[in-house]
Each structure stands twice: as structure tokens, then as C-alpha cells.
Amino acid sequence: MTEEIIETKPELTMLEKVTEQVKLLNEANKATAELLDRQERLKAEDLLGGKTDGHQKEEVKKEVSDKEYSEMVMRGEVDGE
């Protein structure tokens, strides 16, 4: 009979498992911190660059006199609302 040699990996100890998990968490935290910094920079650029929605002026409609309105109707600039 031939004997099969089964190669087994040595099992990780609990300390090694925890150390590996801590490394993974540290990498994830570092990536999250970088993304947060980038998001803060982009928000600051938007605020300073005037690209936010909060400070837009409302469009003010000009009041049209009766005479101006009738002239606009005659020119066909007013839709039948």
C-alpha cells in the first residue's frame, strides 16, 4: 500500500487571527479617513466656489403692463395659458 502524504497548514492561533483582523480594520479605517478628507475638501471647494444650491437667487419676474402684454400677444410671444 502506498501512503498518501497529506500536507496540512498549521492552524492559526487565536492571537494571529486577531492580529490579522486588526490589520484589516486599520487598513479600512485609513481608507475611510482618506475618503472623508476628500469629501470635506470637495464640500469646501463647493462652498467657496459658489457651486452650492443654497445661495441661488430666485428669478424675479418683471411685471408687464397691460399695453406691453397686448403688444406681446400681437407679436405671438404669449402662449394661450
pTM of the model: 0.44
What are the pLDDT digits (tens) for 14-49?
Answer: 999 999 999 999 999 999 999 999 999 998 888 887
Residue 58 pLDDT grade (very low, low, confident, very high; cuts 50, 70, 90) = confident
Task: Using the predicted structure, report yes or no on whether residue 2 has a pLDDT greater than 70.
Answer: no
Residue 78 pLDDT grade (very low, low, confident, very high; cuts 50, 70, 90) = confident
Give the distance from CA 61 to its chain's centroid.
34
Average pLDDT, the chain: 83
Q: At 38, which helix (H) or strand (E)? A: helix 14-49
Polymer length of the chain: 81
Cα separation, 27 vs 32, in Å, equals 9
